């Protein structure tokens, strides 16, 4: 797909053979046919960041017969060597993502870096004419979302946010079908407004303790194989410690937002979809957590409540700072009905009506279809930005220790400059959006 001349390659080869009468062997990968994808239908890929998740993206490419992986990039030589071994022949390794973008033959950039890099790389990829397969959370801050939307729109690119549930039509942790829940909500059979509870008791584990940061870090020597300064990139400079980087970076505010940011878009995006909130955000957010929070290390939290202007609510409960207060309560509750973990409904016959209810609007769940038809992927930069905000709104309430008011239009907190400084943070020079 990247090489625009390959569209006529097959007809050129056939006509050349006819004119010269020459006999030569044309590789099947050029002509296509059963089990082979011709160059005109090949989509070229590059993966930026080949740690644990990046290796999974190599698997995605290997499993797609339309994909051709041309490049991988990582600032850790050991990661890069392991990635190249897994990627196989025809894939080149890089240490600077800008060199990958400068190639000019990449259709899709997989942005599998820590979140503090997501906005910079996604925007640069769009400007380079690449479609973007972005890991969650979409960005590290609220203010980084709109520049991605603008860059994707301006450059006519496709954007995929990598999460589980919305596009699989199943809330695996809940043990129920998201499409069924969406149909029930849209029908009005549950009534309005609705309250959604996302907690261990309703099937969702937040990993808050798993991704807590450490407060006892002592500076260590940077390994020779690791370009730590480039890994930091737009993040503030901090002395190196291995717990800050690679697998455990999620525990530090400079790079991510703990278990809430790790699992938030997996869990909250389908809730946003079910509640039909893709074009708005909560207006009031309150959290219960250990306070004051550490300025660098992500800590534990107990509960977060988010309220929309129409009084729909999302309640998050970690279950790691005492009893889960949502125990025994439904995942989704309205004035006229409830849905519990496992898809159990109250009243029990609610699901009987589903077969006669209208189907939800279809969405594209195959990124190749988006790339070839130029139609938006189901979870894209616009609705993904809104579910990304849910994560950052919750973390802002946790960090400030007070009830926050938020304007979904301006995407700023009302009358709270401390919270707004969390929503819009400067980047370390020379990096900027």
Say yes or no: 146 and 280 in one domain.
Answer: no
Which range among 20-29, 37-46, 370-379 shows the weakest confidence by mean pLDDT? 20-29
Say yes or no: 51 and 130 in one domain.
Answer: yes
- 305-351 confidence digits (pLDDT tens): 999 999 999 999 999 998 999 999 999 999 999 999 988 899 998 88
pLDDT of residue 373: 97
pLDDT of residue 13: 28
β-pairing, 43-48 with 108-111?
parallel
Asked if pLDDT for residue 17 goes beyond 50, the answer is no
- 104-132 confidence digits (pLDDT tens): 999 999 999 999 999 999 999 999 999 99
| Inside any domain, residue 366 | no
Cα-based distances in Å from 31 to 193, 219, 363, 398, 433 = 57, 57, 32, 58, 43
| pLDDT band (50, 70, 90) for residue 15 | very low
| Sign of the torsion formed by the C-alpha atoms of 164, 124, 75 and 371 | positive
| Inside any domain, residue 369 | no
Asked if pLDDT for residue 26 goes beyond 70, the answer is no
pLDDT of residue 177: 76
Say yes or no: 69 and 203 in one domain.
Answer: no
What SS3 state is found at 73? Answer: strand
| Inside any domain, residue 255 | yes
pLDDT of residue 266: 93
What token pair was written down for 66? 């339309």
Crossing angle, helix 145-154 and helix 381-400, to 10 degrees?
Answer: 170
Say yes or no: 253 and 273 in one domain.
Answer: yes
What token pair was written down for 151? 């860059």
| Inside any domain, residue 257 | yes
pLDDT of residue 134: 98
pLDDT of residue 175: 66
Q: What is the DSSP letter of 171?
A: B
Asked if pLDDT for residue 191 goes beyond 80, the answer is yes
Say yes or no: 122 and 221 in one domain.
Answer: no
- 247-282 confidence digits (pLDDT tens): 999 999 999 999 999 999 999 999 999 999 999 999
| Inside any domain, residue 397 | yes
| pLDDT band (50, 70, 90) for residue 173 | low
Say if CB 315 and CB 304 are below 8 A apart: yes
Say yes or no: 194 and 87 in one domain.
Answer: no
Last residue of a domain, one of 115, 140, 164: 164
Say yes or no: 50 and 173 in one domain.
Answer: no
pTM, rounded to two decimals: 0.90
What SS3 state is found at 11? Answer: helix
**What is the CATH number for 183?**
3.30.360.10
What token pair was written down for 296? 């660098």
Domain count of the fold of the chain: 2
What residues are paired with 162 via a beta bridge? 135
| Inside any domain, residue 59 | yes
Q: How many Å apart are CA 238 and CA 300, to the nearest integer?
A: 22
- Residue 420 CB neighbour total at 10 angstroms: 18
- 72-110 confidence digits (pLDDT tens): 999 999 999 999 999 999 999 999 999 999 999 999 999
Asked if pLDDT for residue 298 goes beyond 60, the answer is yes
- The contacts of residue 276 (CB under 8 Å, 6+ apart) are 185, 186
Say if CB 93 and CB 72 are below 8 A apart: yes
pLDDT of residue 34: 57
Say yes or no: 324 and 177 in one domain.
Answer: yes
Say yes or no: 392 and 275 in one domain.
Answer: yes
Q: How many Å apart are CA 164 and CA 177, to the nearest integer?
A: 13
- The contacts of residue 396 (CB under 8 Å, 6+ apart) are 285, 404, 413, 419, 422, 423
Say yes or no: 227 and 304 in one domain.
Answer: yes
Mean pLDDT, the chain, rounded, equals 90
Domain that holds residue 13: 4-164
Say yes or no: 96 and 13 in one domain.
Answer: yes
| Inside any domain, residue 370 | no
Asked if pLDDT for residue 419 goes beyond 50, the answer is yes
**What is the CATH number for 32?**
3.40.50.720
Cα radius of gyration (the chain):
24
What SS3 state is found at 70? Answer: strand
What SS3 state is found at 390? Answer: helix
Q: What is the DSSP letter of 111?
A: E
Say yes or no: 141 and 182 in one domain.
Answer: no
Phi, psi of 92 (to 5 degrees): -105, 145
Mean pLDDT of all residues in 21-35: 44
> In 265-410, at which residue ranges do the beta strands (DSSP E only) sit?
284-289, 301-307, 313-317, 332-334, 337-339, 345-346, 404-407
Asked if pLDDT for residue 20 goes beyond 70, the answer is no
DSSP 304-344: EEEE-TTS-EEEEE-SSSS--TTTTS-SEEETTEEE-GGG-
| Inside any domain, residue 373 | no
Last residue of a domain, one of 141, 164, 187: 164
Higher pLDDT, 160 or 36: 160
Last residue of a domain, one of 147, 164, 181: 164
Q: How many Å apart are CA 167 and CA 219, to the nearest integer?
A: 43
pLDDT of residue 244: 97
């Amino acid at each position: 797909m990247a090489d625009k001349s390959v569209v006529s390659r097959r007809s050129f080869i056939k006509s050349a053979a006819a004119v010269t009468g020459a006999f030569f062997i044309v590789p099947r990968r050029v002509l296509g046919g059963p089990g082979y994808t011709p160059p005109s239908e090949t989509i070229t890929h590059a993966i930026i960041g080949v740690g644990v998740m990046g290796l999974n993206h190599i698997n995605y490419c290997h499993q797609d017969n339309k994909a051709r992986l041309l490049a991988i990039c990582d600032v850790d030589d050991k990661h890069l060597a392991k990635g190249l071994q897994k990627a196989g022949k025809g894939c080149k390794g890089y240490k600077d993502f800008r060199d990958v973008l400068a190639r000019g033959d990449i259709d899709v950039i997989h942005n599998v870096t820590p979140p503090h890099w997501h906005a910079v790389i996604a925007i640069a990829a769009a400007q380079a004419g690449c479609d973007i397969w972005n890991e969650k959370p979409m960005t590290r801050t609220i203010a980084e979302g709109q520049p991605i939307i603008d860059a994707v729109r301006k450059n006519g690119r496709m954007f995929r946010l990598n999460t589980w549930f919305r596009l699989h039509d199943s809330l695996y942790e809940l043990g129920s079908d998201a499409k069924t829940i969406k149909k029930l909500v849209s029908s009005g059979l549950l009534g309005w407004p609705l309250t959604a509870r996302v907690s261990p008791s309703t099937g969702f584990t937040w990993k808050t303790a798993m991704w807590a940061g450490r407060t006892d870090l002592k500076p260590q020597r940077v390994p020779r194989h690791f370009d730590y300064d480039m890994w930091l990139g737009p993040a503030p400079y901090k002395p190196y410690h291995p717990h800050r980087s690679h697998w455990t970076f999620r525990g530090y505010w400079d790079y991510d937002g703990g278990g809430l940011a790790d699992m938030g878009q997996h869990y909250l995006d389908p809730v946003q979809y079910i509640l039909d909130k893709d074009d708005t955000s909560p207006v009031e957010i309150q959290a219960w957590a250990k306070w004051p929070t550490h300025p660098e290390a992500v800590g534990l939290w107990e509960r977060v409540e988010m309220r929309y202007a129409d009084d729909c609510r999302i309640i998050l409960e970690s279950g790691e700072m005492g009893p889960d207060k949502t125990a025994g309560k439904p995942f989704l509750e309205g004035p006229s009905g409830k849905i519990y973990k496992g898809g159990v409904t109250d009243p029990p016959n609610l699901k009987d009506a589903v077969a006669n209810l209208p189907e939800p609007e279809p969405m594209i769940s195959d990124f190749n279809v988006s790339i070839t038809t130029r139609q938006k992927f189901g979870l894209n930069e616009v609705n993904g930005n809104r579910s990304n905000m849910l994560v950052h709104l919750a973390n802002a309430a946790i960090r400030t220790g007070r009830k926050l008011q938020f304007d979904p239009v301006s995407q700023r907190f009302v009358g709270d400059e401390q919270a707004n400084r969390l929503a819009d943070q400067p980047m370390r020079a020379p990096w900027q959006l």
